[in-house]
C-alpha cells in the first residue's frame, strides 16, 4: 500500500529552466508534506515543507505547491542548476502524530544539464 507516490522515476532539464517534480498521496489524513534531496552516498537532506492549510510555500529557488482536492503536490525549482542534480523524495506525515513518522515516496532522479 503505497500511500505516497512519485510516478516519474527520472526527469532531465536544461540549466536555467524550471524543474517540476510531482508527488501524489492517498491518505487524506496527512497534513504536512516535506521534500528531501539526496546525493549519492549521502543521507537525504531536508529541503522544504508545507502545511495542509497552505497551498504554496516558497524558499528561494524552491516552491512547493499543494492541491488538497487532487491529493497532489509539486516541487518547482527555478532556475535549475547543475548542482540540483540529485534524487528528490516527497514525504508526508500527520502533524498531530506523536511519532513524527514520515512516509516517503519512491523518489525522482533529477538531472540538470549544463
Partner 1 sequence: GAGVSQSPSNKVTEKGKDVELRCDPISGHTALYWYRQSLGQGLEFLIYFQGNSAPDKSGLPSDRFSAERTGGSVSTLTIQRTQQEDSAVYLCASSNYRVSNYGYTFGSGTRLTVV
Residues forming the site for partner 1 (CB under 8 A)? 4, 6, 31-32, 34, 36, 41-46, 49, 51, 89, 91, 93, 95, 98-107
Q: How far is the CB of 90 from partner 1 (least distance, A)?
A: 9
Instruction: Quote the least distance from Cβ 114 to partner 1, whole Å.
Output: 27
Count the alpha carbons within 13 Å of 1 in the hemisphere toward its beta carbon: 4
Q: Is the dihedral of CA 85, 32, 94, 29 positive or negative?
A: negative
Residue with Cβ nearer partner 1 (18 or 53) = 53
Closest CB to partner 1 among 20 and 102? 102
Angle at 72 between CA 32 and CA 40, to 5 degrees: 75
Amino acid at each position: 500500500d503505497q500511500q505516497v507516490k512519485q510516478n516519474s522515476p527520472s526527469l532531465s532539464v536544461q540549466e536555467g529552466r524550471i524543474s517540476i517534480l510531482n508527488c501524489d498521496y492517498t491518505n487524506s489524513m496527512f497534513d504536512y508534506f516535506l521534500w528531501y534531496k539526496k546525493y549519492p552516498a549521502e543521507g537525504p537532506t531536508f529541503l522544504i515543507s508545507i502545511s495542509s492549510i497552505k497551498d504554496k510555500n516558497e524558499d528561494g529557488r524552491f516552491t512547493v505547491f499543494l492541491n488538497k482536492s487532487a491529493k497532489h503536490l509539486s516541487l518547482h525549482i527555478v532556475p535549475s542548476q547543475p548542482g540540483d542534480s540529485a534524487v528528490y523524495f516527497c514525504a508526508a506525515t500527520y502533524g498531530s502524530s506523536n511519532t513524527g513518522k514520515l512516509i516517503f515516496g519512491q523518489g525522482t532522479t533529477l538531472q540538470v544539464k549544463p
